[in-house]
Structure 1
Amino acid sequence: MVIFYFLFVIVALLNIFFPRFGWYMRYGWMVKGDSEPSDAYLLMSRISSIIILIVFLIFVVPLI
């Protein structure tokens, strides 16, 4: 279970610091040619990752 927690935090941090990488892994490979995520998508991805990480740290970490 600890491995899952560690991976969850790593993925959240990657999405906070490199949201474009997450977009390419999820959507970028489906698009032909040059396609970029919008600034709004990158901002919302960062904000949601920060919120998820805070909730995780508040509710799950004390259970470990």
Structure 2
Amino acid sequence: MIFFAFIFMAVAVINIIYPAFGWYMRYGWMVKGDSEPSDAYLLMSRISSIVVLVVFFIFVIPLLF
């Protein structure tokens, strides 16, 4: 369980630091040519990752310890 919590936190932090990576993994490979995620997508991806990480720390971390 702790391993999955660590993986979840690592993915959320990566998405906060470099949200374009998630876009490339999900949509980038489907697009031919040079395509980039929009600024709105990057902003919402960062905000949602921060919210998910805060909720994770509030509800899940106390259950692990």
TM range (shorter): over 0.9
Structure 1 residue runs without a partner (length 5+): none
- 1:53 aligns to 2:37 (yes or no): no
Aligned sequence identity (%): 73
For 2:22, the aligned partner's letter is G
Matches within 5 A, 1:39-50: 39-50=39-50
C-alpha displacement of 1:52: 0.1
Matches within 5 A, 1:10-25: 10-25=10-25
TM-score (norm 2): 0.97
1:26 match: 26
2:7 match: 7
Runs of 4+ aligned residues of structure 1 deviating over 2 Å after TM superposition are none
C-alpha displacement of 1:44: 0.1
TM-score (norm 1): 0.99
Count the aligned residue pairs: 64
